[in-house]
Amino acid sequence: MPSPPKPCIDCGKLKSPVGVRCRACAAVLIGLARRNPPLECRRCGKQFPYQCSEGKPWKYCSNECRKEPRFIKRTGKYSYAYVLQPHHPRATYDGYVREHRLVAEHTLGRFLLPTEIVHHIDGDTLNNRPENLAVLASIGEHTKKHKPRRRVTVQCNICGKTVERKFCDSVRRNPRHFYCSLACRSKRFRIDSSN
């Protein structure tokens, strides 16, 4: 049974299942190639025959030349520079690696482990100079760098002793109900139950 007709990639009309363009679009493309001089690749400078997609001439001779060697991608509120390294063990599916990881690996002289995190000391994710990068062993260490624990000084409601504690929701919500020890806390409940 013959396969169903497919749409042409240029005009969208149904065509035979063989090829990607209908006869009219293919004839136009062949005519353009005959009338127009060959194009020059913007990356490697090699001459290639005139070809166009959606009426626009190609800029590169191949997919390898078309891929950008370095680009900046915004992920969330941070922007990271990516470098084309298709044979790197931590490359994405299209062959890119974050530039700060490559710089850290070059500085250390080895590949980074999957658990290792590269921290930007000044907070600028596009500043990938070696002196601005620190390799941390885990995500936990990286979190501590970005969110250091806040300490607050609070006073016990029973004995009046001042104690330094980590800042948490219970201290923020109810600073009046803070006790330095379980003994003071139990005293408070004995006082409340006697009333």
- Span 170-194, mean pLDDT? 65
Q: Is 5 helix (H, G, I), strand (E, B) or coil?
A: coil
Residues 6+ apart with CB under 8 A from 104: 112, 118, 130, 133, 135
Give the CA distances from residue 112 to residues 93, 101, 116, 142, 146, in Å, rounded to whole numbers and listed in that order.
18, 7, 6, 15, 21
The residue with greater pLDDT, 170 or 110, is: 110
Instruction: Please give the pLDDT value at position 104.
Output: 94
pTM for this entry: 0.48
Q: Report pLDDT digits (tens) over 32-80.
A: 656 777 888 877 778 877 777 777 777 777 777 777 666 677 666 778 8
Measured between alpha carbons, how far is 124 from 134 in angstroms, rounded to an integer? Answer: 13
Q: Which tokens belong to 174?
A: 């109810």
Q: Residue written as tokens 């005519």?
A: 31
> Measuring CA to CA, which residue among 154, 144, 150 is closest to residue 175?
154
Q: Which residue has the higher pLDDT, 136 or 184?
A: 136
Domain ranges of the chain: 6-63, 70-146, 151-194
**How far from 134 is each of 98, 117, 131, 144, 152, CA to CA, in Å?**
15, 8, 8, 13, 29
The pLDDT of residue 134 is 92
How many whole angstroms separate alpha carbon 136 and alpha carbon 118? 6
- Tokens for 93, please give them: 């599916």
Kindly report, residue by residue over 90-135, the tens digit of the pLDDT.
888 888 888 999 999 999 999 999 999 999 988 888 889 999 999 9
Give dist(CA 60, CA 72) in Å, integer. 20
